[in-house]
Chains A and B, each alone.
Chain A
Amino acid sequence: MFDKDRWIEIFETIKKNKLRTFLAGFTVALGIFIFIMLFGLANGLENTFEKYFKDDQLNTIWINGSRTSKPYAGYESNRRIRLKNEDLEDIQNKYDFFIKGLTPRITISSEVGYKLKSNNYTVRGVGPHHQFNELTVIMNGRYINEADIFNKERNVVIGRLVKQDLFGSENAIGKYVNGGGRSWKVVGVFQDDGGDNEERMIYCSYTTLQSILKSSDEVDQIIISYNPEIGYEGAIEFEKNIKKYLKSKKKIDPNDPKGISIRSASNDMQQNEQFSSALNYMIIFIGIGTLLAGIIGISNIMVFVIKERNKEFGIRKAIGATPNSIIALVLQESIFITTISGYVGLFFGVLLLSSIGDKLEKTYFITDPYVDFNFAVSATIMLVFFGALAGYLPAKKAAMIKPIKALNEK
């Protein structure tokens, strides 16, 4: 391996057989390049997936009221079902064991301003537990608390981008913003991984919002975090029970598919996970295929090259080359070429991937494609190894035949 003379011999051979070297190298470089691109793009697709679904806790159930589609108990169909504060309390009391926390949500849109700047924002009236449902991260100050709910305080927690819009670099905590003709005290600033929209949100106490909306006791949505220990099956059972309970409470036909709608993250997540694992299997399959095609390609070239050089090996043996020196010559050349070109393919693959960033997110749902570098290097080493193995067998055969047979070839 460290025989300088052999390296010189190899470099001379490479220099004088440029096409052969190029073809072998190109096969390997292309194989690795495609492999890297494929895995990188697949990872990018998964990134997009995660970005969209990472926002919410998995053990979450959303309950909405909607219009009924069947008449029942003296009520006509198409009756609008509304969730109320008492439903919240009833669910809390009845299903205490299953529930980790729950919160109502009332969503309105309102113009909110500070000094001369103002803007239209989504305002959500929520309870303290909402922070855990949405995985909201407090940057400064605090979130809505029980005291805000109880006292119907006009306190708001604003998103990072709301703070940026209205306050710029000014400290927002303790300042008052105007909204709906009233002033509200900013008690906290939050960030959220769910994207820009989530950070252009303002949270306040739902009781406060209800008092402003003409002392209504209605909520748009009830969000429940269930105990993760009940598992997937338990969650489905829990969902069914709540639905049944609310339907009987609101006097909705038990067979009515409408009236109460329940969405759960676990359901969404399971589907997504299935989809993404199917995608993963496909990509692994194609990736291994690509690598195999590369190995077969380099094997073919090696077999051809050795066949082509058979006579040369005969000559070398006639003037004193040992079989081992011939095997070493072939292997070292092939390992050298595959290693160099493998890393060239690796380099360009990684370079192209990292230059993509989020450019493909809008059209192809590919965000920040990447490959694990160790993984990519292992793939390259594997290709080099199998390329060498593919070269070893015919090289050994060529090195062992009687020189006279090789010399007699025309």
Chain B
Amino acid sequence: MIRIKNLHKSYEIGSNSLHVLKGIDFNVSEGELVAIMGSSGSGKSTLLNIIGMLDNYDNGSYELDNILIKDLDETKAANYRNKFLGFVFQSFNLINYKSAVENVILPLYYQGIKRREREKIALEYLDNVGLKNWASHLPSELSGGQKQRVAIARAMVSKPKVLLADEPTGALDSKTSTEVMSLIQEINNSGKTILVVTHEEDIAKMCKRVVRLKDGVIVDDKKINQKVL
């Protein structure tokens, strides 16, 4: 599903150049649940952003579902993101003046699906994350766990090939974290490929494979026994 070869990325900060990713080789097959771990500054979020086409890379190659993703213009990138990828962020990134269901509808709106139909689909997905009764609530009226579940529903509603989660439990307490991870496992068990960036060992243990980054290189990559919730 994901094939990355010798990926380099550096940021220009003033006159200095910060080399964040120093040659990453990394493959993910369909249906995997991969935790990407590392301390802050290890390049794990950058890697996820590049996989998510939210950011570009300097050297190497990245293929998603056999399509080379390189130097895309923003319009093309937007279309690919909409078709292939779902995002879950640490800070939820819901649009604060839109209700739960309106947030979930948005990817369908950009896919050009008809209004009545996308409302139906969105409610279905909200139901899947157990928030059907909260559909008309604004994000400010939801708890952190509920917000993240809305975000997951929004990420899943466009039926992406890969779900990318950047510290999905970073802003949640441990009980809510477990709930969200259980939801992610459930989605993964239905066949979806998921990448989770985290720095918590507990969260990583709930995945099927753990990749460790340090100073921009992969230092460890192994399958583990998943802690099933």
Contacts and interface: CB of A to CB of B under 8 A. Distances in A.
Nearest to A6: B109
Nearest to A399: B74
Interface string A3-30: 0010011001100110000000000000
B81 A319 contact: yes
Contacts of A17: 97
A322 B93 contact: no
A320 B107 contact: yes
B113 to A, nearest CB: 10
B49 interface: yes
A325 B74 contact: no
A312 B95 contact: yes
A320 B159 CA distance: 13
Nearest to B46: A404
Contacts of A5: 109, 115
A5 B110 CA distance: 10
Contacts of A323: 74-75, 78
Given A318-B54, A404-B55, A407-B54, A13 B97 contact: yes
Contacts of B87: 318-319
Contacts of B55: 402, 404
B97 A322 contact: no
Contacts of B1: none
A323 B79 CA distance: 10
Interface string B42-54: 0000000100101
A20 B223 CA distance: 52
B61 interface: no
A321 interface: yes
A318 B82 CA distance: 8
A321 B78 contact: yes
Given A399-B74, A402-B54, A404-B49, A320 B111 contact: yes
Interface centre among B75, B83, B89 (most CB of A within 10 A): B75
Contacts of A161: none
A320 B74 CA distance: 10
B102 A318 contact: no
B2 interface: no
Interface residues of B, number: 29
A317 interface: yes
Interface string B67-95: 00000001100110111000101000111
B4 interface: no
Interface string A304-325: 0000000110111111111111
A81 B111 CA distance: 97
Nearest to B76: A322
Nearest to B164: A318
Interface centre among A311, A312, A320, A322 (most CB of B within 10 A): A320
A317 B55 CA distance: 12
A317 B109 CA distance: 12
Interface string B185-213: 00000000000000000000000000000
Given A17-B97, A400-B74, A402-B54, A319 B102 contact: no
Contacts of A387: none
A91 to B, nearest CB: 85
Contact of B75 (A16, A311, A322): A322
B148 interface: no
B79 A320 contact: yes
Interface residues of A, number: 27
A404 B107 CA distance: 17
B71 to A, nearest CB: 13
Interface string A246-285: 0000000000000000000000000000000000000000
Interface centre among B78, B89, B95, B98 (most CB of A within 10 A): B78
A294 interface: no
A5 B106 CA distance: 11
Contacts of B75: 322-324
A8 B54 contact: no
A403 interface: yes
B169 interface: no
B178 interface: no
Contact of A315 (B83, B95, B109, B115): B95
A104 B149 CA distance: 100
B106 A319 contact: yes
B109 A318 contact: no
Contact of A12 (B79, B94, B102, B107): B102
Contacts of A399: 74
B176 interface: no
Interface string A381-410: 000000000000000000110111001000
B110 A407 contact: no
A251 B44 CA distance: 112
A328 to B, nearest CB: 12
Query: Closest 6 A-B residue pairs measured CB to CB?
Result: A320-B82, A320-B110, A16-B97, A404-B54, A322-B78, A319-B107
Given A322-B74, A404-B49, 19 more contacts: A8-B115, A12-B98, A12-B102, A16-B98, A316-B95, A316-B106, A317-B74, A318-B52, A318-B81, A319-B82, A319-B110, A319-B158, A320-B78, A320-B110, A321-B110, A322-B110, A402-B55, A404-B54, A407-B93
Interface of B: 49, 52, 54-56, 74-75, 78-79, 81-83, 87, 89, 93-95, 97-98, 102, 106-107, 109-111, 115, 154-155, 158
28 contacts: A8-B115, A12-B102, A13-B97, A311-B93, A312-B95, A314-B93, A315-B95, A316-B106, A316-B110, A317-B81, A318-B54, A318-B81, A318-B87, A319-B154, A319-B158, A320-B107, A320-B111, A320-B158, A321-B110, A322-B78, A322-B79, A322-B110, A323-B78, A324-B75, A325-B110, A403-B54, A407-B54, A407-B93
